[in-house]
């Protein structure tokens, strides 16, 4: 659910102010998608993930969550790139420790989302299976 909220907030932030696409976790996604496609994709992916929770079969749930996982990996890659190069996507230069502290949650979100997908694959999405 955290990933769903995170991606909705990213989409809404870009809708409210287009400068939000310069944020480090959003920049990679925005670079891959055109302006008129970014917001619909960023709204469709978490919506699909949310609908996946209502799937009876674990395969359905996983198929609904995989697009979200891909976007999380892209955001985490942007965060890792910023940490590695000591500057944010908008060019702001900061010490590695500063950027690491700021961006680690984006990376951890992708890691723990992967773990959740593996748990769903192993045990299913709920107790009915």
Q: pLDDT value at position 45?
A: 95
Asked if 109 and 6 count as a contact pair (C-beta separation under 8 A), the reply is: yes
How far separated are the first and last CA of the chain, in Å rounded? 21
Q: pLDDT value at position 125?
A: 61
Between residues 66 and 121, the one the model is more confident about: 66
Q: pLDDT value at position 127?
A: 44
Distances in whole angstroms, Cα of residue 123 to Cα of each of 1, 23, 65, 85, 93: 18, 36, 15, 39, 44
Task: Report pTM.
Answer: 0.87
- CA 102-106-85 angle, 5° bins: 60
* 76-98 tens-digit pLDDT: 999 999 999 999 998 899 999 99
Alpha carbons 52 and 85: distance in angstroms, whole number: 36
Return contacts of 65-69, CB within 8 angstroms, 24+ apart.
65/113, 65/116, 65/117, 65/120, 66/117, 68/3, 68/4, 68/7, 68/113, 69/110, 69/113, 69/114, 69/117
* 3-53 tens-digit pLDDT: 999 999 999 999 999 888 889 889 988 888 888 899 999 999 999 999 988
Q: pLDDT value at position 120?
A: 86
Confidence class for position 110, pLDDT limits 50, 70, 90? very high
């Amino acid at each position: 659910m955290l990933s769903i909220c995170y991606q909705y907030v990213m989409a809404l932030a870009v809708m409210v102010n287009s400068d939000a696409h310069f944020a480090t976790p959003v920049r990679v996604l925005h670079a891959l998608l055109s302006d008129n496609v970014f917001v619909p994709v960023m709204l469709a992916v978490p919506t699909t993930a949310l609908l996946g929770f209502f799937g009876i079969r674990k395969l359905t749930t996983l198929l609904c969550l995989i697009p979200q996982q891909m976007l999380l990996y892209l955001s985490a890659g942007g965060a890792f790139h910023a940490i590695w190069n000591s500057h944010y996507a908008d060019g702001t230069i900061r010490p590695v420790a500063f950027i690491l502290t700021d961006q680690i949650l984006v990376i951890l979100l992708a890691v723990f989302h992967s773990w959740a997908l593996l748990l769903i694959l192993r045990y299913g999405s709920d107790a009915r299976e």
